[in-house]
Amino acid sequence: MKQCDFITSVGHKTVDGKPRSALPYQGKGADRLVTELAVFDFDEHGQARLIELYPDPDVELVKTHAEFDFVVSSTLNVVPLPDAEMLAFMRRFDPLGIHWREFREGELARCFDC
């Protein structure tokens, strides 16, 4: 992977393939990986598995940008868009609109159900 914005867990295995269970860490590792394009979980071997896509990308786009190997779930779903009530709830947490600074111009042009 060329760049990782932040890491919240040690993960399921080291770069050289050593399993988490062989390391001195508690817990089983992350259960979800959320990216700008999709959501992954992990199988029993720690392999990333694509389980949900956001409404506009497809599997090929995710493969192009992921920079890691993953399998695609046989029950792949599309993440539902938030309804008006949920959008209003989320916007209360950022009344100054700080999150808009995180988007590139092309991302702001994305439109769902337009």
Tell me, what's the pLDDT at 20? 77
Rounded to whole angstroms, the Cα distance separating 7 from 13 reads 14
Condensed to tens digits (0 to 9), the pLDDT of residues 75-110 reads 999 999 899 999 899 889 988 988 888 888 877 777
Counting residues of the chain whose pLDDT is more than 70, the rounded percentage is 89
Our count of domains for the chain comes to 1
Q: What angle do CA 93, 94, 96 make, to 5 degrees?
A: 145
Rounded to whole angstroms, the Cα distance separating 52 from 58 reads 10
Q: What angle do CA 1, 3, 27 make, to 5 degrees?
A: 70
93 found inside a domain? no
Higher pLDDT, 89 or 13: 89
96 found inside a domain? no
pTM for this prediction: 0.73
Question: Tokens for 63?
Answer: 């493969």
Is the confidence at residue 32, as pLDDT, over 60? yes
105 found inside a domain? no
